[in-house]
């Protein structure tokens, strides 16, 4: 008689004869050869898969285990997973929407006699998809007067135009492809290093050509044409992508002028209107006043010349007022209002 798993049942009939009484006695013996051992399973090796391009999970086709059954009986397989959705397509198994991380996957086998065994392995899902880098391809940078030489630090995110990643937020760094800057632009630059000289230190002479959270621009960039800037986009897994920006630097800073202070002189003082002074943005005395000096007053970028005009009214034998008006003009059309300097002349004379 056949049994499950290629097993058998053997039926023996025993007959016992009593020769003295000529009587017999029969009994039936059943010998069962059955399969009571579970199949042996060998699972696949642990392996790693990447996420989908658009979503932060993976759809994984799971390789089957090796199965050995001593009795050669038929068996059925089933699959469980610590995450994701297990789907059976005929005799093939797929785990859909398996998220980032390490996940335990277990194969189960049952032979036709009901014997069961299982084995497990690990599937690791990693984000190996680079972020999508979108740049604001043409960017205008206006200089500020916060630092020397018109130094202006522009945060990297200014050049972004909707960069994204399938698994979360992204970070930005930026650099110039070349540079005219040849001075320390990192001093007190919290955008670069909250603790100057901290870890990692910033090389003050990198000229802005190393990827940093900010990129410097200065007066030397004005009129130099588009400056190529590279934006670096990094996701949480460290994958990087890049895009390019053309940055045009403009100087829209009004020039700075400071008039000399009011003074009082006596009547025996020979007042000369050419003895006034003017200063630049750094407070440096830069020349003498005269009626039409055409002398430059230097503004932040040390580039544009400004004309000074003056009118003087002096009367003798009495107190009088000397008025000086300074007007600056900017070749780019930016100007400041004139400032008034009042020089009070006091004459203490004896009349005959």
Written as six digits, the tokens of 134 are 């979108």
Assess contact for 163 and 50: CB atoms under 8 A: no
191-203: b or e for each residue (b if 16 or more CB lie within 10 Å)? ebbeeeeeeeebe
**Averaged over 225-243, what is the pLDDT?**
96
Assess contact for 230 and 244: CB atoms under 8 A: yes
**Averaged over 158-182, what is the pLDDT?**
93
Residue 14 has pLDDT above 50, yes or no: yes
**Averaged over 135-140, what is the pLDDT?**
94
Most confident range (mean pLDDT) of 37-51, 201-215, 302-316 is 37-51
Residue 331 has pLDDT above 90, yes or no: no
DSSP lists the bridge partners of residue 323 as 342
Is there a domain that residue 256 lies in?
no
Query: Do residues 244 and 307 both lie within one domain?
Result: no
The pLDDT of residue 210 is: 85
Is there a domain that residue 132 lies in?
no
DSSP lists the bridge partners of residue 23 as 18
The pLDDT of residue 349 is: 38
The pLDDT of residue 246 is: 96
**Averaged over 1-23, what is the pLDDT?**
79
Is there a domain that residue 288 lies in?
yes
Q: What confidence tens digit (pLDDT) does each residue in 88-99 have?
A: 988 889 999 999
Most confident range (mean pLDDT) of 7-16, 58-67, 108-117, 302-311 is 58-67
Q: In what order do the strands lie in the sheet with 336-345?
A: 264-265, 336-345, 320-328
The answer for residues whose C-beta is within 8 angstroms of residue 88's C-beta and 6 or more apart is 79
In a 3-state reduction of DSSP, which class is residue 127? coil
The torsion of the CA quartet 180, 186, 190, 192, rounded to 10 degrees, works out to 70
Find the CATH number of the domain harbouring 104. 2.60.40.10
The pLDDT of residue 310 is: 40
Query: Do residues 45 and 122 both lie within one domain?
Result: yes
The pLDDT of residue 132 is: 96
Which has more pLDDT, 205 or 140? 140
Query: Do residues 328 and 225 both lie within one domain?
Result: no
Query: Do residues 90 and 177 both lie within one domain?
Result: no
Q: What confidence tens digit (pLDDT) does each residue in 105-125 have?
A: 999 999 888 889 999 999 999
Most confident range (mean pLDDT) of 7-16, 245-254, 256-265, 288-297 is 245-254
Distances (CA, A) of 257 to 147, 262, 324, 327, 339: 18, 16, 13, 9, 8
Query: Do residues 22 and 74 both lie within one domain?
Result: no
Query: Do residues 167 and 147 both lie within one domain?
Result: yes
Residue 340 has pLDDT above 60, yes or no: no
The pLDDT of residue 240 is: 97
No. of helices (H) and no. of strands (E), the chain: 0, 23
How many domains is the chain built from?
4
Length of the chain: 352
Task: Provide the pairing of β-strand 116-126 with 47-50.
Answer: parallel
Domain end residue (candidates: 126, 153, 180): 126
Query: Do residues 166 and 191 both lie within one domain?
Result: yes
**Averaged over 320-334, what is the pLDDT?**
44
Query: Do residues 65 and 7 both lie within one domain?
Result: no
Task: Provide the pairing of β-strand 57-61 with 152-155.
Answer: unpaired
The pLDDT of residue 225 is: 86
Q: What percent of the chain has pLDDT over 70?
A: 64
Which has more pLDDT, 156 or 21? 156
* Confidence at 267, pLDDT banded by 50, 70, 90: low
* Confidence at 304, pLDDT banded by 50, 70, 90: very low
Residue 2 to residue 8: CA distance in whole angstroms? 5
The pLDDT of residue 266 is: 62
- Among 203, 181, 182, 176, residue whose Cα is nearest residue 192: 203
- Among 14, 83, 84, 73, residue whose Cα is nearest residue 40: 73
Domain end residue (candidates: 95, 126, 157): 126
Q: What are phi and psi of 250, to 5 degrees?
A: -120, 145
The helix (H) or strand (E) run that includes residue 48 is strand 47-50
Domain end residue (candidates: 126, 156, 183): 126
**Averaged over 6-21, what is the pLDDT?**
82
Indicate left, alpha or beta for 22 from its phi (over 0: left) and psi (-120 to 50: alpha): left
Assess contact for 4 and 113: CB atoms under 8 A: yes
Name the residue range of residue 176's domain.
138-250
The pLDDT of residue 281 is: 43
Query: Do residues 145 and 245 both lie within one domain?
Result: yes
The pLDDT of residue 171 is: 96
Query: Do residues 308 and 273 both lie within one domain?
Result: yes
Is there a domain that residue 350 lies in?
no
Residue 306 has pLDDT above 60, yes or no: no
The pLDDT of residue 112 is: 83
Q: What confidence tens digit (pLDDT) does each residue in 191-201 have?
A: 554 444 444 45
The pLDDT of residue 299 is: 44
Query: Do residues 192 and 220 both lie within one domain?
Result: yes
**Averaged over 283-295, what is the pLDDT?**
41
Assess contact for 212 and 202: CB atoms under 8 A: yes
Which has more pLDDT, 77 or 274? 77
Query: Do residues 237 and 310 both lie within one domain?
Result: no
């Amino acid at each position: 008689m056949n049994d499950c798993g290629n097993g058998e049942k053997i039926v023996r009939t025993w007959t016992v004869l009593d020769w003295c009484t000529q009587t017999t006695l029969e009994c039936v013996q059943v010998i069962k050869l059955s399969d009571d051992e579970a199949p042996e399973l060998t699972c696949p090796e642990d392996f790693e898969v990447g996420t989908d391009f658009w979503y932060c999970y993976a759809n994984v086709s799971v390789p089957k285990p090796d199965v050995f059954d001593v009795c050669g009986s038929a068996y059925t397989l089933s699959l469980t997973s610590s995450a994701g959705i297990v789907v059976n397509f005929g005799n093939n198994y797929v785990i859909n929407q398996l998220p980032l991380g390490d996940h335990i996957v277990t194969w189960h086998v049952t032979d036709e006699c009901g014997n069961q065994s299982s084995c497990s392995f690990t599937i690791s899902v990693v984000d190996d998809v680079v972020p999508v880098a979108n740049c604001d391809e043409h960017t205008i940078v206006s200089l500020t007067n916060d630092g020397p030489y018109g130094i202006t630090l522009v945060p990297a995110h200014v050049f972004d135009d909707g960069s994204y990643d399938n698994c979360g937020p992204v970070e930005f760094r930026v650099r110039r492809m070349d540079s005219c800057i040849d001075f320390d632009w990192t001093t007190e630059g919290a955008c670069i290093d909250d603790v100057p000289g901290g870890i990692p230190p910033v090389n003050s002479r990198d000229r802005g050509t190393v990827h940093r959270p900010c990129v410097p621009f200065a007066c030397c960039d004005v009129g130099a044409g588009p400056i190529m800037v590279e934006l670096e986009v990094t996701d949480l897994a460290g994958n990087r992508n890049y895009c390019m920006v053309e940055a045009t630097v403009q100087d829209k800073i009004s020039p700075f002028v400071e008039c000399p202070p009011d003074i009082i002189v006596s009547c025996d003082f020979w007042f000369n209107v050419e003895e006034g002074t003017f200063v630049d943005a750094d407070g440096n005395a830069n020349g003498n006043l005269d009626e039409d000096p055409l002398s430059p007053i230097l503004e932040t970028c040390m580039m544009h010349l400004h004309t000074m005009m003056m009118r003087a009214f002096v009367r003798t034998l009495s107190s009088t007022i000397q008025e000086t008006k300074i007007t600056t003009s900017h070749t780019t059309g930016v100007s400041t209002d004139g400032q008034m300097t009042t020089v009070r002349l006091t004459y203490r004379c004896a009349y005959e």
